[in-house]
Amino acid sequence: MAPRIPQRITGVNVLSLPLSTLEGFVFSLVDGRAATSDIAIITGIEANKLDSILDRLSELGAVDLPWAPRKAKPKPPTPASIPDAHFASGAARYSPLEIDDRAEISKELRKRILDAFYALDGRNHYEALGVPRDADKNMIRASYFELSKIFHPDSQFGKDLGPFRSKMESVFKRLTEAYEVLGKKKKRQDYDEYLAVTEQTRKARRAFDRVSREVEAIRVPEPEPAPEPPPPMPDASVLRAPRVPSIAGAEPSSPISKAPPAVTLRPAPSNEERRARVRERLRQRLKTTSSRPAPPPTTPIEPASGQNSSERRRSAIEGLRNSIAASGAAAGRTEANVRAQAHVRKAQDAERAGDFLTASGELQLALACDPDNKSVQQEYERVSKVVARSLATNYEKQALYEEKTGNWKAAAVSWARVSDNRDDDENAARRTAESLLKSSGDLHRAQRYAQKAVQLAANNTQNLILLARVYLAAGLKLNAQRELEKAAKLDPRDQIVNNLLREARS
């Protein structure tokens, strides 16, 4: 059998190929004279594995294998077949200036790295690998290895990647995490359950946001302001022609020739005519709201004895204003009540269907329409408690999974939501503070939740120790010492307490 001698293809820049260390070593031994058996002896690689490495070098266009059948030249990939095409969807999330950062790689590769780095935030494992939820193990594996060829830092061995190296490492780490979870049956099952819970809570938060926007948009109609009374008609005897100002450089105006046109005055209506007009306006105004109860005007229409005409007219107008305002308010209240009852009926239908989240939103909208309705307020409080308990259960499942995977930042958010929905849950408050501490989160928030745990269970040394650790992280040694001394009284032999006390007193 003739020896199989691989041939190196001239003009290939090995540094530009995404080769592992072992593949690069094998490539260095391909010189056109060494047979595969010689290379196997030198490297100590098994024959089957060596054939796989040579096949990969052949696919990359680095070596020629004369004994292997010639493969058709692959067609240029379409956007849908590019492994990382899913990262480039939508508008770029980075500044174009970042593409110009110093690095010995092509501009196209820089763009692909930036697209992936900024797109991964908020994506689940399936979205990170660009595979559907029902992808089988082979599809997941193929996607991971294709993406690794692009984002593994060693694929650009020997090149100065500048700021792109850390981004490539972050992307590759995230892809590896996704592959390790989805590639194992039990881990994938746990992750799918976690995804289902997070999607439920995300849907709930979107519903809350929608209801909040609708509540803000609701405005109970305000009664129309009463029209201002017309100014009193001046007596004809006080009307005078206006004085025309003189203009510098102009001839003096003749007061006769420049006088304004004569004003024709209508005779002033009598007091009885005025009262009749006021009554007619009131009757016409109240005609449309005759079916609604309206309180009587606070100011009587009929003039009191001894009032002059001006006082009687002001009294009539004031009475009209109060009547119209009262009628408008009554109409607004009636309309608000009708809208509120419509939302209450929708809430009842949703609750019968088991959708307490929608029921809670509808009752919140009903309260926005009719905030003084006590029965609606009681129903809203009852349904909201059911929703809060359900959400707290989902957030707790999220938090437990995030703790298990070491995602302390996400766990802190989930545990905080559990604690906020369960005012009496000491465990949720303590684990919120612990997660914040482990994720280097906000120490003020950690202190608040640790104090809540202490208030709920003051005799639990773990709560006192946790609060002391928060104080120590914040540099407040005296505060930490105070809490640790309380814990020492509860359990003088606790070694953790004694060690932390020495640290606080130092």
How high is the pLDDT of residue 219?
54
- For 414, other C-beta atoms within 10 Å of its C-beta total 27
How high is the pLDDT of residue 391?
86
d(CA 123, CA 115): 13
Q: What is the chain's alpha carbon radius of gyration, rounded to the nearest angstrom?
A: 41
Single-letter amino acid, residue 298: T
d(CA 150, CA 112): 9
d(CA 291, CA 288): 8
How high is the pLDDT of residue 324?
52
Third-level CATH fold of 406-505: 1.25.40
Residues 83 and 146: beta-carbon distance below 8 Å:
yes
d(CA 116, CA 88): 7
Residues 486 and 459: beta-carbon distance below 8 Å:
no
DSSP H or E stretch at residue 8: strand 7-8
d(CA 202, CA 91): 24
Distances (CA, A) of 335 to 60, 338, 341: 75, 5, 10
Residue 81 φ then ψ, to 5°: -95, -5
pTM of the model: 0.59
Burial of 329 (0-12, 13-18, 19+ CB in 10 A): middle
Q: Which of 278, 280, 285, 284 lies closest to 299, judged by CA?
A: 278
Q: Which of 179, 169, 180 lies closest to 116, judged by CA?
A: 169
DSSP result, 253-318:
PPTTTTPPPPPPPPPPPPHHHHHHHHHHHHHHHHHTTTTS--PPPSS-SSPPTT--HHHHHHHHHH
Same fold yes or no, 105-183 and 406-505 = no
Q: Is 91 helix (H, G, I), strand (E, B) or coil?
A: coil
How high is the pLDDT of residue 252?
45
Assigned token pair, 448: 């608040």
How high is the pLDDT of residue 389?
84
How high is the pLDDT of residue 2?
78
Q: Is 360 helix (H, G, I), strand (E, B) or coil?
A: helix
d(CA 487, CA 457): 12
Burial of 287 (0-12, 13-18, 19+ CB in 10 A): exposed
Class of domain 105-183: mainly alpha
- For 365, other C-beta atoms within 10 Å of its C-beta total 22
Q: Calculate helix-pair angle for 164-182, 107-119, nearest 10 degrees.
A: 50
Domain boundaries defined on the chain: 7-64, 105-183, 193-225+274-279+295-301+308-401, 406-505
d(CA 262, CA 253): 18
d(CA 414, CA 463): 19
C-alpha of 163 from chain center:
29
- For 74, other C-beta atoms within 10 Å of its C-beta total 7
d(CA 398, CA 390): 13
| Regions of the chain short of the pLDDT cut 50 | 220-222, 235-242, 244-265, 288-292, 294-295, 297-304
Residues 437 and 470: beta-carbon distance below 8 Å:
yes
Question: Is the dihedral angle over the CA atoms 293, 299, 305, 307 positive or is it negative?
Answer: negative
Q: Which of 72, 73, 74, 34 lies closest to 54, judged by CA?
A: 34
Single-letter amino acid, residue 358: T
